[in-house]
Amino acid sequence: MTITKEMKMTSKEEKVQKYMNKVYEKVIERNPNEKEFHQSVKDVFQSLIPILAKKPEYMEKNILEQLVEPERVITFRVPWVDDQGKVQVNRGFRVQFNSALGPYKGGLRFHPSVNLSIVKFLALQQIFKNSLTGQPIGGGKGGADFDPKGKSDNEIMRFCQSFMTELSKHIGPDVDIPAGDIGVGAREIGYMFGQYKKIRGSFQAGVLTGKGLNYGGSLARKEATGYGTVYFLQEMLKGNGMTLNGSTVVISGSGNVSIYAMEKAIELGAKVIACSDSDGYIFDYNGIDVETVKRLKEGNGDRIRYYVREHPSATYVEGCTGIWSVPCGVALPCATQNEIDETAAKQLVENGVKAVAEGANMPSTAEAIEVFMKSDVLFGPAKAVNAGGVAASSLEMAQNSMRMSWSFDEVDAQLQEIMKSIYQNCVEAAKEYGQEGNLIAGANIAGFQKVADAMIEQGVI
C-alpha cells in the first residue's frame, strides 16, 4: 500500500484509497525513473482521500487518472554555437499539463539538473498553485538542461534564441505563457521575447511574463515570489498567535525568491541571519545586509562567499546544506527541490524552529515534512506559499491585455490580497475535510477542487 492516511478510515475512504493506489501504481509503471514526479503525485494524492470520499463524482469520472497524465509533453533539440565556434546541444522541454482553468502557465528553468521528471513535478505543482491564486491560468512548466553558469552574454543570447525557435511553435498569449524560474530572469526572457517577436512578426506582449519594464513587464513582478512568501508567512504566523517582528529567520538561496523574501522579512521587523548559494552559506547573527546580497547576485552573478569581504562580522561556510544547522525561529527554503531532508528537518526542530514556509518548489522531502508535522511546526507548502510569483504574472497578463500598466503599489496591494485569500482558502479547506491546521492538505484540496470541477464541466476531452 502506497497512499496512506494517518487517521482511522471510513469504508468510503478505504474504497478511495484502493482507487488511488491503482492510479498511483500506474503512474509509476508508466513513468519509471521519474522520482520527483512520483514524489509530487504522492504528496497531492495523500491529501485527497477525504474529498474523494465525500464527492464520489471525482472517482466515477476517473479525475485522478486524467489529472496525472499531461495534456501534452514536448521535448526538443536546442543546438547553439559557443564562443569558441563549437556546436553545443541541449535538450529543451515544455510540459503542458492542464488547461482546465486557463492557458498553460508556468516558468522555464535552465539548470543542468533539468530532466522530464523535474519538469513534470514542477508542472503538476503549478496546476494546483495556479488554481490557488484564483487567476484564470492552467498549469505548465518547461526548461532545458543548459547550465548558464560561466556562459558569456552572447552565449546566453544564442541559447535563448535557439530555445525559442522551437518553443514558439507551441506557445502564445492564449495558449501557453512561459516565465522565469531558476536560471531564467529578465535577461533571458528578453532574448526569448525578441526571438518570438521576430519569428511571429508580431508584438504579442502576453506571450511571456517576467518581461522588462520597458516592453510590457509589470512592476512588482520581480519582487512578487519573495514578497508573497513573506505575506503568506505573516498570515500563517498571525493565524497562530505569532508575529514576524523580532523573529530570527534563515533563508536559503540568494536568487530572485530569496532576495525579495529577505527584503520583505527585514522590512517587517525580522532579522535574517543566513542565506546561501549552491557553493555555501553565510551567517551573521547581527543580520544579513540584503543590499550587499542584491549587488553581488543581481550585478555580476557573483558567489555569496564574497559577502564576507564587505562584512567581516559574517562567516562563510562551504557547502550549502549546512545552512539548516543555523538556529532560527523561522526557516524559508527558497533555493531548490529537496534541499531539506530528514536530518536537516530534525536539526531545525532541535534548534527550536517554529515555522517553515516553502519559497522554493518542493524544497522539503516527504521525510522532512513528516518531521515538521510530528513536531507541530507551522508548515506552509510551496504551492500556496510561493504562488505570489505566478499570481503577479497573471496580473502582468491582465495589464498586457488592457495595454495598461499599474503602479507598484497597485500590483503589490493585489498580491497581498491574493496571498491572504490563499491562506484563508487553505485553512478553510483543511477544516472542511477534517484536517484542521494542516495547510498541506488545505492547499492540495482547495487547489484540486477547482481544477477537478472545471474538468468535469468541460467534459472528457
- Of 141, 264, 297, 354, catalytic: 141
Which one, 50 or 253, has the nearer CB to ligand GLU?
A: 253
- Does residue 179 touch ligand GLU according to CB under 6 A? yes
Which one, 59 or 116, has the nearer CB to ligand GLU?
A: 116
Task: Tell me how far, at minimum, the Cβ of 129 lies from ligand GLU, in Å.
Answer: 6
Residues 6+ apart with CB under 8 A from 284: 273, 274, 311, 313, 314, 315
99, 361, 364, 425: which one binds ligand GLU (CB under 6 A): 361
393, 400, 414, 425: which one binds ligand GLU (CB under 6 A): 393
107, 206, 217, 253: which one binds ligand GLU (CB under 6 A): 107
Q: Site mask, ligand GLU, residues 110-139, x = CB under 6 A?
A: -------------------x----------
- Does residue 181 touch ligand GLU according to CB under 6 A? yes
Secondary structure of the chain as H, E, C letters: CCCCCCCCCCHHHHHHHHHHHHHHHHHHHHCCCCHHHHHHHHHHHHHHHHHHHHCCHHHHCCHHHHHCCCCEEEEEEEEEECCCCCEEEEEEEEEEEECCCCCEEEEEEECCCCCHHHHHHHHHHHHHHHHHCCCCCCEEEEEECCCCCCCCHHHHHHHHHHHHHHHCCCCECCCEEEECECCECHHHHHHHHHHHHHHHCCCCHHHCCCCCHHHCCCCCHHHHHHHHHHHHHHHHHHCCCCCCCCCEEEECCCCHHHHHHHHHHHHCCCEEEEEECCCEEEECCCCCCHHHHHHHHHHHCCCHHHHHHHCCCCEEEECCHHHHHCCCCEEECCCCCCCECHHHHHHHHHCCCCEEECCCCCCECHHHHHHHHHCCCEEECHHHHCCHHHHHHHHHHHHHHHCCCCCHHHHHHHHHHHHHHHHHHHHHHHHHCCCCCCHHHHHHHHHHHHHHHHHHHHCCC
Task: Tell me how far, at minimum, the Cβ of 55 lies from ligand GLU, in Å.
Answer: 28
Task: Tell me how far, at minimum, the Cβ of 107 lies from ligand GLU, in Å.
Answer: 3
- Does residue 70 touch ligand GLU according to CB under 6 A? no
- Does residue 288 touch ligand GLU according to CB under 6 A? no
Indicate if 35 belongs to the active site: no
Which one, 5 or 297, has the nearer CB to ligand GLU?
A: 297
Cell (9 digits) for 262: 529577505
106, 139, 183, 447: which one binds ligand GLU (CB under 6 A): 106
Contact region with ligand GLU (CB under 6 A), list: 309-317, 337-345, 389-397, 439-447: 389-397
Task: Tell me how far, at minimum, the Cβ of 85 lies from ligand GLU, in Å.
Answer: 33
Which one, 105 or 297, has the nearer CB to ligand GLU?
A: 105
- Does residue 105 touch ligand GLU according to CB under 6 A? yes
Which residue's CB atom is positioned nearest to ligand GLU? 107
Q: Restricting to residues 144-163, name those near ligand GLU by CB under 6 A.
A: none
92, 389, 442, 447: which one binds ligand GLU (CB under 6 A): 389
Which one, 181 or 358, has the nearer CB to ligand GLU?
A: 181
Q: Site mask, ligand GLU, residues 248-287, x = CB under 6 A?
A: ----------------------------------------
Q: Which of 8, 85, 4, 70 is nearest to 34 (CA)?
A: 70
For ligand GLU (CB under 6 A), the number of binding residues is 11
- Does residue 183 touch ligand GLU according to CB under 6 A? no
Q: Which residues are catalytic?
A: 141
For ligand GLU, the binding residues (CB under 6 A) are 105-107, 129, 179, 181, 209, 361, 389-390, 393
